[in-house]
């Protein structure tokens, strides 16, 4: 059977699409896939690298700013809007899928809408606790909306067929032993903090981490720290650590990207990060206490709603970026350092939120459509 998957823009949309394709392949050995995204998004590299055929629809989102650059991008978005629908219909007609699945991204709207207009059954996977406008519109005609967080259900139109599936986490994330991970990293003693802001990096975290690291290295606390500064921190973070004389401290591991995230999260006592859906699902999978700083410019402020899924039951401390200072972060770290029982309770609460049968739930939702 043929499956069309539309995704793109960020890894938060692409990785679920790839994971869903993998789940389908486990059950439908003869499955044929076509991914549709935008030519300038991360999907243009990640999807072919995973071995899947890829086609493109030019599409872009609208900017709320009135800067010259935003106006220019909005004019381009209008132009794309006028052509994307026709191009998407042509792709869907030629491929003739049995099911079209949207996991978000600019191309997902016109492609899944085209499939619906052509009578192709469609499904949507919503990663966030507060759904985006496009998915809320697509949900009206989708056969099923698969949700990562139950909190999303109340935002979909009345009558939407929603199911709780959770979000697939990367392979091996739940299979790493904590003590083995700590030995592998060389951090067997003391508290281990793991912090990151995604592949691009988070400026608010990068700006404070050098001072934060110097503080805990010079204190009586025994703290090790792994930090990923991302693309936007490569020109500033290493130099700042050198200026402070802590670049080579064995209690620190500071890199652009964490390639062994499964090992690092398994070994961590505390995670400091943004609140993307994939990150939160992984925190639940490994059961780790966290301090979350939602990205305030995320569409519909969805990261705040994501963060509160862990914040409300006490699995995470949520700090809005407008309230974030180095002193505030020090206060929370010192409190958690001195209260291992609180950390353990946060670990447990995070782990209780994890759905262990996500892959089965996703397949059941898809199989239910195939059988109708």
Q: What is the pLDDT of residues 45-91, one digit of tens each?
A: 999 999 999 999 975 454 444 455 544 444 444 444 445 778 999 99
Model pLDDT, residue 176: 84
Model pLDDT, residue 141: 96
Cα distance between residue 118 and residue 131, in whole Å: 24
Can you list the positions of beta strands (E) in the chain? 2-6, 32-37, 53-56, 99-102, 122-126, 144-147, 162-164, 191-196, 223-228, 252-255, 270-273, 290-292, 316-318
What is the average per-residue pLDDT within 228-248?
A: 94
Cα distance between residue 367 and residue 372, in whole Å: 9
Model pLDDT, residue 254: 97
State both tokens at 359.
């892959």
252-278 pLDDT, tens digit each = 999 999 989 999 999 999 999 999 999
The residue written with tokens 């350092």 in the block is 337
**Torsion sign over Cα 198, 200, 205, 210:** positive
Q: What percent of the chain clears pLDDT 70, i.e. is strictly above it? A: 92
120-176 pLDDT, tens digit each = 999 999 999 999 888 999 999 999 999 999 999 999 999 999 999 999 987 667 778
Secondary element (H or E) of residue 222 = none
In three-state secondary structure terms, 268 is coil
Cβ contact 113:139 at 8 Å = no
Model pLDDT, residue 83: 59
CATH of 178-352 given 3.40.50.2000, 3.40.50.150, 1.10.287.3510, 3.40.50.300? 3.40.50.2000
- CA–CA distances in Å: residue 309 to residues 26, 81, 130, 149, 342: 30, 34, 11, 8, 18
The answer to whether domain 2-166+356-370 and domain 178-352 are alike in fold is yes
Q: Which superfamily, per CATH, for 2-166+356-370?
A: Glycogen Phosphorylase B; (3.40.50.2000)
Q: What are the boundaries of each domain within the chain? A: 2-166+356-370, 178-352
Model pLDDT, residue 72: 47
């Amino acid at each position: 059977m043929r499956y069309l998957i539309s995704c793109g823009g960020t890894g938060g949309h692409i990785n679920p699409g790839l994971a869903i394709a993998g789940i389908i392949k486990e059950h439908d050995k003869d499955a044929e896939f076509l991914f549709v995204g935008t030519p300038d998004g991360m999907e243009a590299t990640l999807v072919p690298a995973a071995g899947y055929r890829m086609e493109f629809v030019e599409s872009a989102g609208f900017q709320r700013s009135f800067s010259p650059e935003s106006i220019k991008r909005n004019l381009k978005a209008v132009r794309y809007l006028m052509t994307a629908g026709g191009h998407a219909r042509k792709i869907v007609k030629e491929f003739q899928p049995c099911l079209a699945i949207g996991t978000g991204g600019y191309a997902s709207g016109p492609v899944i809408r085209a499939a619906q207009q052509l009578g192709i059954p469609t499904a949507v996977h919503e990663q966030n606790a507060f759904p985006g406008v496009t998915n809320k519109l697509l949900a009206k005609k989708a056969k099923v909306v698969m949700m990562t967080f139950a909190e999303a259900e109340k935002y979909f139109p009345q009558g939407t067929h929603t199911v709780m599936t959770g979000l697939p986490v990367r392979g091996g994330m739940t299979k790493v032993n904590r003590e083995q991970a700590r030995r592998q990293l060389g951090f067997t003693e003391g508290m281990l903090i793991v912090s990151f802001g995604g592949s691009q990096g988070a400026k608010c975290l990068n700006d404070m981490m050098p001072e934060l690291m110097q503080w805990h290295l010079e204190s009586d606390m025994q703290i090790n720290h792994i930090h990923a500064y991302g693309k936007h921190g490569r020109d500033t973070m290493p130099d700042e650590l050198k200026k402070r004389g802590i670049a080579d401290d064995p209690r620190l591991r500071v890199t652009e990207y964490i390639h062994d995230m499964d090992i690092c999260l398994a070994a961590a006592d505390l995670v400091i990060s943004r609140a993307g859906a994939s990150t939160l699902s992984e925190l639940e999978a490994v059961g780790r206490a966290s301090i979350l700083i939602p990205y305030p410019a995320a569409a519909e402020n969805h990261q705040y709603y994501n963060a509160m899924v862990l914040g409300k039951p006490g699995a995470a401390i949520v700090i809005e970026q407008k309230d974030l200072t180095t002193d505030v972060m020090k206060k929370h770290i010192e409190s958690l350092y001195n209260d291992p029982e609180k950390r353990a309770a946060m670990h447990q609460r995070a782990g209780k939120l994890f759905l262990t049968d996500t892959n089965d739930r996703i397949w059941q939702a898809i199989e239910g459509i195939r059988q109708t």
